[in-house]
Homo-oligomer: A and B are copies of this chain.
Amino acid sequence: MKNILDRNQNKAGEIRELMRENKVCMINLISSPGAGKTTLLERLCEKLAGRYRTGVIEGDVTTDRDARRLQRFNIPIVVINTGGGCHLDSHSISKALTHFDLKNLDILFVENVGNLICPTSFDLGESFRLAVVSTTEGDDKPAKYPMIFRQAKALVLNKTDLIPYTNFNIESFRNDLKKLNASLPLFKVSATKGDGINEFARWLEEQIINS
């Protein structure tokens, strides 16, 4: 296991250097299955794809369904099917990158496999990690799956439109987060309704400009 992680880390370092040379901001999206990563990407593509040259790597166990949802944006998309694998690694990213024209890219979103645990152990050479968690998963996710909440540069709390129909307690959620990562920016979003997308997209633009 240590060997696998070491080799992953070496390749991730090369990717990070390559992204820096080409001035590409690479964002690794990590969440549970069905938290809304792809819907969030649809909203972000609507906001950003005209103004920033955007690409996407879609990580999935199987199928190209998520990639097909993004096709209408006419942006470069590469699918990585892990064939049962529970996370992306830097070697699969490295291969996927050969299909992009990095000189003509500003942002590269990497949608990791839906899994709140394993992807946190694998550096992909990203500029930063973005955690996405949905209200319908319950307010106890930070306490129960702390790794990604410690690592992320920002947290999108998605499906806020469903809070009235659930027992999600935002205070309890915030209290647990504070213990793990007090300075983590939290964006409350409904990706299906569009709520909160402008504010999050503005934050994201700042990261791209400063990266």
Write the residues of chain A forming the contact surface with B, with a CB cutoff of 8 angstroms: 32-35, 60-63, 65-66, 84, 86, 113-118, 134, 136-138, 140-141, 143-147, 159, 161-162, 165-167, 192
Contacts and interface: CB of A to CB of B under 8 A. Distances in A.
Nearest to A120: B84
A65 B144 contact: yes
Given A32-B33, A134-B136, A118 B86 contact: yes
**How many copies of this chain sit in the oligomeric assembly?**
2
A167 B63 CA distance: 20
Contacts of A60: 144
A63 to B, nearest CB: 6
21 contacts: A33-B141, A33-B145, A34-B134, A61-B117, A61-B147, A62-B144, A62-B146, A63-B143, A63-B144, A65-B140, A66-B144, A84-B147, A86-B115, A86-B118, A114-B144, A114-B145, A115-B117, A136-B136, A136-B162, A162-B165, A166-B192
Given A35-B137, A86-B118, A115-B116, 16 more contacts: A32-B32, A32-B114, A34-B134, A34-B136, A60-B144, A61-B147, A65-B143, A65-B144, A84-B147, A114-B116, A117-B118, A118-B118, A134-B136, A161-B165, A162-B165, A165-B165
A117 B65 contact: no
A159 B138 CA distance: 12
Looking at chain A's contact residues, is the secondary structure mostly helix, strand, loop, or mixed?
loop
Contacts of A165: 161-162, 165
Interchain residue pairs A-B with the least CB separation, the first 4: A34-B137, A136-B136, A86-B117, A32-B33
Nearest to A137: B34
Nearest to A60: B144
Contacts of A34: 32, 134, 136-138, 141
A159 B136 contact: yes
Counting chain B CB atoms within 10 Å of each CB, the highest count among A34, A118, A140, A144 belongs to: A34
A67 to B, nearest CB: 12
